[in-house]
Amino acid sequence: MADFTSGFWSSFITIATIVSIVFCLLLLLINSKKPAKTADNTTGHVWDGDLREANNPLPRWWSGLFVITIVFAAIYLWLYPGLGSNAGAAKWSAHGQYDAEKQALDAEMAPLYAKYQQQPIPSLIGDPQARAIGERLFLANCAQCHGSDARGAKGFPNLTDGDWLYGNAPEQIVQTLARGRNGVMPALGAAVGGAPEIDQLAQYVLSLSGSATDSVKAELGKPRFAVCAACHGADGKGNQALGAPNLTDRIWLHGGGLQQVVSIITQGKDNMMPAWDTKLTEGQIHVLASYVLGLSQRAPATASK
pLDDT digits (tens, 9 = 90+) for 217-239: 999 999 999 999 999 999 999 99
Residue 68, pLDDT above cutoff 50: yes
Mean pLDDT rounded to a whole number for the chain: 89
| Structure confidence at residue 277 as a pLDDT band (50, 70, 90) | very high
| Structure confidence at residue 140 as a pLDDT band (50, 70, 90) | very high
Q: Residue 277: which of 178, 140, 171 has the closest Cα?
A: 178
Per-residue pLDDT, averaged over 59-74, amounts to: 91
pLDDT of residue 86: 87
Residue 181 identity (one-letter amino acid): R
Share of the chain above pLDDT 90, in %: 70
pLDDT of residue 4: 56
pLDDT of residue 304: 41
Residue 149, pLDDT above cutoff 60: yes
Residue 301, pLDDT above cutoff 50: no
pLDDT of residue 252: 92
The Cα 205–Cα 185 span in angstroms is: 14
pLDDT of residue 2: 53
Which CATH entry fits the domain spanning 122-180+274-298: 3.30.530.50, 1.10.3720.10, 3.40.50.300, 1.10.760.10? 1.10.760.10
| Structure confidence at residue 3 as a pLDDT band (50, 70, 90) | low
What is each CA distance from 300 to 136, 149, 156, in whole angstroms? 21, 12, 17
Residue 25 CB burial class (10 angstroms; 0-12, 13-18, ≥19): middle
Domain 184-273 belongs to what topology?
Cytochrome Bc1 Complex; Chain D, domain 2 (1.10.760)
Residue 305, pLDDT above cutoff 50: no
Of 81-85, 156-160, 174-178, least confident by mean pLDDT is 81-85
Q: Can you list the pairs that 81-90 forms with residues at least 24 positions away whose Cβ atoms lie under 8 Å?
A: 82/17, 83/13, 83/14, 83/17, 83/18, 84/9, 84/10, 84/11, 84/12, 84/13, 84/14, 85/7, 85/10, 86/14
Q: Give the global pTM.
A: 0.72
Q: Residue 54: which of 64, 68, 44, 65 has the closest Cα?
A: 44
CA angle in degrees (0–180, nearest 5) for 140-273-149: 45
- Cβ atoms within 10 Å of 198's Cβ, excluding its own: 21
Residue 285 identity (one-letter amino acid): I
What is each CA distance from 274 to 7, 127, 182, in whole angstroms? 30, 27, 8
The Cα 273–Cα 183 span in angstroms is: 8
| Structure confidence at residue 59 as a pLDDT band (50, 70, 90) | confident
Per-residue pLDDT, averaged over 105-121, amounts to: 92
pLDDT of residue 53: 78
The Cα 89–Cα 91 span in angstroms is: 5
Residue 150, pLDDT above cutoff 50: yes
Rounded to an integer, what is the distance from CA 34 to the centroid of its chain? Answer: 59
Share of the chain above pLDDT 70, in %: 94
How many residues in the chain?
305
Domains 122-180+274-298 and 184-273 share a fold: yes
Residue boundaries of the structural domains of the chain: 2-79, 122-180+274-298, 184-273
Which of the two residues, 294 and 48, has the higher pLDDT score? 294
Q: What is the pLDDT of residues 14-34, one digit of tens each?
A: 999 999 999 999 988 887 776
